[in-house]
Amino acid sequence: MIGENIKKLREAKGITLSNFAEQSGISKSYLSNLERGLKKNPSIQILEKVADVLSTDINELLDRDIAPLKMSKEWNEFVEEAIKVGIEKDMLENYKELIAFIKWRNLKEAQR
């Protein structure tokens, strides 16, 4: 169950197994075995690394009823619009940086 949830979240975010391994510092073979259910009881440390890369928390990884994408209608529309204007998966990191900058700027303005 944990492995299935990890795989659904990873694929929903467009992260390849190789990139996932690299970002988490966990071997690709271990992650593959985890996703396929061959490894069933990962340590808390492994779950923390996985959750960090997937921008989620351990509770969501353990959720038995996880949907591939738990998004509101507005988020689905946002993603569809992003695709329409040509934003591709390999560009997402740049947009994450932009969003982080906007959050930082808004925080600084609020502190004034």
Per domain, the residue ranges of the chain are: 2-62, 73-111
pLDDT tens-digit readout, 63-92: 755 454 555 677 778 878 888 888 887 888
Report how far residue 95's alpha carbon sits from residue 20's, in angstroms, rounded to the nearest whole number: 19
Residue 108 has pLDDT above 80, yes or no: yes
Residues 5-53 have pLDDT tens digits of 899 899 988 999 999 999 999 999 999 999 999 998 899 999 999 999 9
Supply the pTM of this predicted model.
Answer: 0.56
CA distance 62 to 50: 12
Q: How far apart are CA 104 and CA 82, in angstroms?
A: 23
Q: CATH number for 2-62: choose from 3.40.50.620, 1.10.10.60, 3.50.50.60, 1.10.260.40.
A: 1.10.260.40
